[in-house]
Amino acid sequence: MKEGRVMNPILKVIQFITNINKWVSYFALVLMMIAVTFFSISRTFGQPIIGDIELVQFTMVLLIMGALAITEQSNSHISIGLIVDKFPPSLQAAINCLSQLLTLLFCFLVCWVYITKMNFLQSSDLLKIPFYPIKMFLIIGFIGWGLEAISRFYKSVRSF
């Protein structure tokens, strides 16, 4: 019983971080749709916007990084279960736990590399937009994904 009281606030924090990532992703999607529409119309009328591709690439990164945690939470990542689905349920659960641990390891390894190799002077070629805010959100996105993997691992272990 004590374990549930300890984990519930942690799961709520994970849910909060996932919600922040989700709303950033939604905002990036709307922004990207508006930008691509505007850029396409301006190009059609012979007035292309300089840096349009860079801006769309930045919003695409925000969209993808924001969607990682919510995709993990809803178990919507691409998976191929042709072989694993034929295993007994206990072995499927063990493989699921192992995959969650590997996801967690991958997420925190990516975060560690980006944190240790952060270059605050690097910027885009055309518009000179600094990369570090995008890289910081990339770290937040992977942390959210990793925390959701922890949450799913916890739920998998409890189901044993």
* Cα gap 142→108, rounded to integer Å: 7
| Percent of the residues in the chain that have a pLDDT greater than 70, as a whole number | 96
Q: Which pair of structure tokens corresponds to residue 107? A: 């997420």
SS3 89: helix
SS3 130: strand
Tell me the pTM: 0.86
- What residue type is assigned to position 74 of the chain? S
If you search the block for the tokens 């689905």, which residue do you land on?
85
Whether residue 65 contacts residue 22, with contact meaning beta carbons closer than 8 Å, is answered with no
The candidate with the shortest Cα–Cα distance to 116, out of 103, 135, 134, 101, is 135
- In this predicted model, what pLDDT tens digit does every residue of 12-35 receive, in sequence order? 999 999 999 999 999 999 999 999
Asked if residue 51 has pLDDT above 60, the reply is yes
